[in-house]
Structure 1
Amino acid sequence: MAERMEYPAFLSKAQIKAIGSYVPEQVISNSDLEKMVETDNEWILRRTGIEQRHKAANDQLTSHLAIAAVHDMFSRFPAVNAQGIDAILVATTTPDMPFPSVASQVQQAIGAANCLAMDVSAACAGFVSALQLANGLIMTGIYRNIIVIGAESLTRITDYTDRSTCILFGDGAGAVLLEASEQGAFLYSNADTEGSGGMHVYCNPDNKIVQNGREVYKWALSTVPDKVRDLLRKAGLTLGDLDWFVPHSANLRMIEAICERLELPIEKALQSVVRNGNTSAASIPLALDAAYKEGKLQSGHLLALYGFGSGLTQSGLLVRWTLGTA
C-alpha cells in the first residue's frame, strides 16, 4: 500500500452561504429532571454546565426538525431556495427509520428536483464529516449547491432512569448551504477513528444510549487538543490565528478542559450545550447559528470546527466564515 503523504494538498471550492436552525418548543429544565430521576440542578450544572435541553413533540421526528431548520434558512436568506440544490446531506444517528433516509424526506418537503439525498452516520462528528463530504462533491464540478444538516431527536433514545446520561441529551437541528466558489473557504480538514473505543458510547438493543462518560472524557482530553493543533499546523496556522473554536457541545466542562489544554481562552469557544444540551450532530450548527444571530461571527473570521464522539471518531475543519452580519 502506498504511504500516505504527511501533508496532502487540500483543495476547496466551497463556501457557507446561508444558515438556519430549529429547536422544539418543549423544554426540559434541570428542575424537570429533578422530578424524573435522582439528581438536582446544582449537580447537573457542576458536572455539565447544562441549564436546559429541548424535546421533540410526540409527533415530531428527526426529519421534521431538519425540515424546519431548512425552512428557517430559506426564510432568513430570501435568495436561497430549493431551486438549484444538487445534494442534501443529513448527519444524524437518530433517523426516523432505517430507510428511507432523513435526507430524502427533506428533499421531498422542500421540493428539490434532481437532487442527491443521503444520510451520514458519524455521531457527534457527523456534521463536520458531512461538510468534508460535501466539499468533495463540489470539487468534482458536478455539484454546486449542497445543503448540509445536523439533526437529532436524542430524547427518544435517552434512558431516563440513568441519571448519568439523561441529564445530557436534547433535540434540535441546524442547516447550512454550501455553494461552489473559486475562493474556497474550507482551508484544511482531518479525521481520526479509534474503533476499539466504540463500546464506550453506543445504542443498546433496547434502542437506548449507553455511555461510559469517564472513558469518553479521558479520550477526548487526551486526543482532541493535539488533533486541533495538528489541524492548524498542517494548514500553516497557529491557535493565535483562530477567531473561534467550535467544538462539539458535549459538555461545557469538557469544552473548558479542552480549551485549558489548548491554552485557548474559553471566550473563543462557541457552544450550544448550555441551552440545548448535547445534540450530537446538531450541536455545531446550532452553536454557529446562535453566534451568527448574536453578531459574533463576521465575514473573514477563521473557525476551527471540531466534532468528536461515538465511534470513537473525530473530524476537524478549518473554515473561513463568509457570511456578513446577521
Structure 2
Amino acid sequence: MTYRGAVILGVGASLPGRVVTNDDLAARLDTSDEWIRSRTGIGSRRWVEPGTSTSDLAVDAGARALRSAGTSTADAVIVATTTPDRSCPAIAPDVAARLGMIGVPAHDVAAVCTGFLYGLANAVGLIASGAARTVLLIAAETFSTILDPDDRGTAVIFGDGAGAVVVGEGEGAIGPCVLGSDGTGADLIQVPAGERYFRMSGKEVFRAAVDRMSDVALDALARAGLGPDDVDHLAPHQANRRICDAVARRLGLAESKVLADLDAVGNTAAASIPVLLADAAATGRIEAGDRVLAVAFGGGLTWGATTLVWPDVTADFGVLGEG
C-alpha cells in the first residue's frame, strides 16, 4: 500500500444572515457590551433563523469549498458537529446527497470544538491509506439552538456557522495531526442527558483550554520538525480572546500572528477554525506559502493541533442564501 500526503484544495464558509449584537443580548440579560467584550472579545455573533438547520449551513459551506477547489464532488464526506439536525441518523449522508454525492461514504464526527481537527485527521487518514483521493470535510454548528437564553455565561459566547475544506493528495502541506482526550473532564462541557441546554464550567474550562492547547501546539510543531519561530499565523479555536492570547503568550508568538474573527462571529464551536481560515484567506490575512498552526480544545475533553502550509486557493466566504 502506498501512503500519500494531503493538502487543502479548496476552502469555503457560510454564516447565517441574522446578526445578534451585544446590545441585543444586554436588552434581556444582566450584561453589557463592555462586559462581554472585556471577557470574551466578542462584539456580535450570527444566529440562524427558526427553520434553518445545521445541515443547511453545512451544504452551503460544502458547496463553497467544492467551488473553491474547482470540483463538484469528492470521494468521501465528513461533517463535524455538536448540533446535528437529529440525534439519529448522522447528517453527513444527507449533506452529501444534497450536494449530489449519493453513494459516497459519509459520516459525522463529534468532538465539540475540536471537531474540525478530528475530522481533518480522519480525512488525512483516508487519503494516506488510499481509501479516498479527495475528502470534503465540513464543520457546522447551530449552537444558538441549544443555548439557555437566560444563561449569561454561554448565551453571549456562541454563534452559528459552517466552514469546509476539500482535502486531496499532495506532499507536505498538512503536517501531523496531534489529538488527545480526557474523559474525566466530560462534565465540564456538556448537554446533560435528557436536557436541552448546553452547560459549561467556565473557569475550569479556561485553565484546561490554555494548558492543553499550548501543549498540543508545541507537540504538533515538534512532530513537523518546526518551532514557534517558524509559524506565520496561529489559528486558534475561537473560544474567547483571553484564551487565544494566553496560548500565544505560552508559545512565544506575537499578538500580530494571532488570527481572530471573534469580534464578528463569536465562538462557532467545531466550525471556528475553518470559518476563521476562510475569512483570513478571503481578506488576504493569510497568503499562499504561509505556515499556519491550528489548535483547538473542546468538550470530551478533547484537543488537537496541526500545521498547514497555506495553499494557493481562492476562499469562498459568504452568507447563507447569498452567492
Q: Residue in 2 aligned with 1:194?
A: 182
After superposition, what is the alpha-carbon deviation per residue over 1:256-288, rounded to whole angstroms, capped at 9, x for unaligned?
A: 111122221121111232211111000000100
1:184: Cα distance to partner?
Answer: 3.9
1:321 to 310, 313, 321: 310
Describe how 1:1-326 pairs up with structure 2 within 5 A: 13-77=5-69, 79-82=70-73, 85-181=74-170, 183-204=171-192, 205-324=194-313
Q: Distance in 2 between matches of 1:184 and 1:229?
A: 19
Q: Distance in 2 between matches of 1:28 and 1:312?
A: 29
Q: Distance in 2 between matches of 1:142 and 1:282?
A: 25
RCO greater where, 1 or 2, for CA within 8 Å and sep 6 or more? 2
Matched-pair contact (CA < 8 Å) for 2:10–2:313: no
Matched-pair contact (CA < 8 Å) for 1:36–1:160: no
Q: Residue in 1 aligned with 2:320?
A: none
1:113: Cα distance to partner?
Answer: 3.7
1:75: Cα distance to partner?
Answer: 4.3
1:69: Cα distance to partner?
Answer: 0.8
Q: Distance in 2 between matches of 1:12 and 1:242?
A: 24
1:306: Cα distance to partner?
Answer: 0.9
Q: Distance in 1 between matches of 2:309 and 2:210?
A: 26
1:324: Cα distance to partner?
Answer: 4.2
Q: Residue in 2 aligned with 1:8?
A: none
Q: Secondary structure at the match of 1:288?
A: helix
Matched-pair contact (CA < 8 Å) for 2:66–2:166: no
Q: Secondary structure at the match of 1:131?
A: helix
Q: CA 1:192–1:272 in 2, change beyond 3 Å: closer, same or farther?
A: same
Matched-pair contact (CA < 8 Å) for 2:12–2:65: yes
1:45: Cα distance to partner?
Answer: 0.4
Q: Distance in 2 between matches of 1:102 and 1:118?
A: 8
Count of residues paired in the alignment: 312
Kindly provide the amino acid, as one letter, of the partner of residue 262 in structure 2.
V
1:301: Cα distance to partner?
Answer: 1.5
1:76: Cα distance to partner?
Answer: 4.4
The alignment's C-alpha RMSD in Å is 1.4
Q: CA 1:76–1:187 in 2, change beyond 3 Å: closer, same or farther?
A: closer
Q: Distance in 2 between matches of 1:110 and 1:308?
A: 30
After superposition, what is the alpha-carbon deviation per residue over 1:20-73, rounded to whole angstroms, capped at 9, x for unaligned?
A: 110100111000001121110000000001000111111100000001112223
Structure 1 spans left out of the alignment, 5+ residues: 1-10
Matched-pair contact (CA < 8 Å) for 1:12–1:187: no
Q: Taking structure 1 as the reference length, what is the TM-score of the superposition?
A: 0.92
Q: Secondary structure at the match of 1:187?
A: coil
After superposition, what is the alpha-carbon deviation per residue over 1:2-33, rounded to whole angstroms, capped at 9, x for unaligned?
A: xxxxxxxxx75211011111010011100000
Deviates more, 1:101-110 or 1:23-32: 101-110
Matched-pair contact (CA < 8 Å) for 2:11–2:314: no
Kindly provide the amino acid, as one letter, of the partner of residue 142 in structure 1.
A
Q: Secondary structure at the match of 1:72?
A: helix
